[in-house]
Chains A and B, each alone.
Chain A
Amino acid sequence: MTDLLYVAALVILANVAVSAWRVLHGPARADRIMGAQLIGTSGVALLVLLYLIHGSSGVLDLALLLALLAAFAAVGYVKSRSADGAGDPEVAGGEDP
């Protein structure tokens, strides 16, 4: 069972490599941030697998942290593009994109 989990972890690492390629190649800036988000999600899946292989529940706290930080990176990118985070159409006076 453990070696199957190692194979699964290798597949997830291949995922990280592919999304790293997308971060490098991505034509639009949004693609690069999406690649970073995918690396975050793959990292979370990898940490869950590592918990299965030789579990210490601290690894799951790390997965929680990584999921949170990946989201903040993308929010940081959006806020850097426009001050109000690309506007909110529902807000009165919010400009339509």
Chain B
Amino acid sequence: MIADAVTVLLIGAGLFFFVAGTVGFVRFPDVHSRLHALTKADNLGLGLVVLGAALQAPDAATVLKLVLVWLLTLAAAATVAQLLARSALEDGAP
């Protein structure tokens, strides 16, 4: 019962950061600040959702797979953010 409550709490916090990141992604004026909001807030949201899901996981293999999903998304987002920032800089982004 406690695990369910903690999972719901973690997923709620994760969603809060997800929505905050997406609102930032929409509202920010230029490309680079949008990239900033997109990469950091959403991955933190995903991390909390994964943490919430890890509590419910039946065995260690699933927990490891969940953490792997998050780590892969983090690595992908960090790499993509660098590439996009440099590419947008070259296009003379506003």
Residues of A within 8 A of B (CB): 1, 4-5, 8, 11-12, 15, 18-19, 21-22, 27-31, 33-35, 37-38, 41-42, 44-45, 48-49, 51-52, 55, 57, 60-61, 63-64, 67-68, 70-71, 74-75, 77-78, 81-82, 85-87, 97
How would you classify the secondary structure of chain A's contact residues: helix, strand, loop or mixed?
helix
A-B pair number, CB within 8 angstroms? 141
Q: Which residues of B, 76-94, contact A by the 8 Å Cβ criterion?
A: 76-77, 79-80, 83-84, 86-91, 93-94
Chain A residue contacts of B91, Cβ below 8 A: 28-30, 81
CB distance B86 to A67 under 8 Å?
no
Q: Interface majority SS on B: helix, strand, loop or mixed?
A: helix
Closest approach, in angstroms, between the C-beta of A64 and any C-beta of chain B? 6
